[in-house]
Amino acid sequence: MQRHLAIIISSCRRGGNRTDFLFIALFYMNLNILPNIHCFADIMFNPGGYEPPRILYDNEMVYVPEGKNDITVGPVKYVVGANCGIVIPPGVVHFSENPYAEPAHRLCIHFDWYGAQPKPEKICARLKDGPPKAMQNDSAQPIVFTLSGICRRLLDRTFELLKSNPSDVIALKYSFGELLARISSEKSAGRDRWNEASWNRMNLMGTLKSYIESNYAKDIGYDDFCEATQRSAAYVCSNFKKMTGLNPTEYLIEVRIFHAERLLNSTLLPIDEICARVGIPDHNYFSRLFKRRNKLSPSEYRRAADGM
């Protein structure tokens, strides 16, 4: 995380194309789960600026302290003005533009609720040939919010940590987590029923992602998912996919393969042992899943990593 955030800070200080810095977010705060920030941006979106349509594999919070810009999510255009923000869930086609005379100051945070860092190519898909079908999540909805004075101070503190001390992961988690918790509380106090349903879905997603990340090496399945969330299998599958674009089993496979990649890169463990450690003891099945994701067998992947 420290290296990834340092790269973003360095890029922002140099100045560059705005499309290099737009990062992403969905949002909710379960007090038992702390968010993991992947990357961030503090940018000026100039008049006439345009971010082409894209679809994200992760979640984005965009807050505008000054100015205003248009963010179109699915078929709906939102005018996000001063002291307002929007949370864009993964799997939703969206784009941004500034048709106004003044620049818009944008603060963006890209985060998730589990520990695995997404591959760079998994953060965002540009829509040259249309969105990948597996990523589309047309039923997910953005959340628009206004920051209170306390929330603005928490956001300022979070960005101060991101810029000055990104290695203090615990402080970042608690600062950003408190911000999300307060926004959640303020939205709930407004008795916005639509958002209450959205928060419930996000709570489910956060709880289940946390459970999978903690237990991926075990033999777990829908019975365990239902017990962890206290929901039915149909509810878990439908609502988790609405929020992430993947059903829980597909997400579990993604987490297992991610950890297998990490072990292949950083250890000399036999592949059979790596299979067992990530919860896929069948070597042949593991190899098929791994090759489907990486276009390389585990052995080829390790050799390629060694040659880099």
Q: What is the pLDDT of residues 78-115, one digit of tens each?
A: 999 999 999 888 778 889 999 999 999 999 998 876 54
- What is the pLDDT of the chain when averaged over all its residues? 76
Q: Which two tokens stand for residue 104?
A: 């818009």
Where is pLDDT greater, at 126 or 60? Answer: 60
Where is pLDDT greater, at 124 or 285? Answer: 285
Q: Does pLDDT of 178 surpass 60?
A: yes
Domain with CATH 2.60.120.10 in the chain: 2-189
Domain with CATH 1.10.10 in the chain: 250-306
Could you tell me which of 106, 111, 87 has the C-alpha nearest to residue 46?
A: 106
Q: Which residue type sits at 278? A: V
User: Domain 2-189: what homologous superfamily?
Assistant: Jelly Rolls (2.60.120.10)
CA distances from 76 to 22, 83, 94, 121 (A): 20, 20, 9, 27
Rounded CA separation 162/2 (Å): 9
Rounded CA separation 195/44 (Å): 29
The reported pLDDT for the residue numbered 197 is: 61
pLDDT band at 141 (very low <50, low <70, confident <90, very high): confident
Of 28-32, 220-224, 247-251, 273-277, least confident by mean pLDDT is 28-32
What are the contacts of 163-172 at 24+ separation with CB within 8 A? 163/9, 163/42, 166/1, 166/2, 166/5, 166/6, 166/9, 167/2, 169/1, 169/2, 172/37
pLDDT band at 149 (very low <50, low <70, confident <90, very high): confident
The reported pLDDT for the residue numbered 13 is: 36
Q: Does pLDDT of 188 surpass 80?
A: no
Q: Does pLDDT of 232 surpass 80?
A: yes
Q: Are 188 and 145 in contact (CB under 8 A)?
A: no
The tens digit of pLDDT for each residue in 33-68 reads 567 788 899 999 999 999 988 887 678 899 999 999
Domain at 250-306: CATH code? 1.10.10
Q: Does pLDDT of 190 surpass 60?
A: no
Please state, for a pLDDT cut of 70, what percent of the chain lies above it. 73
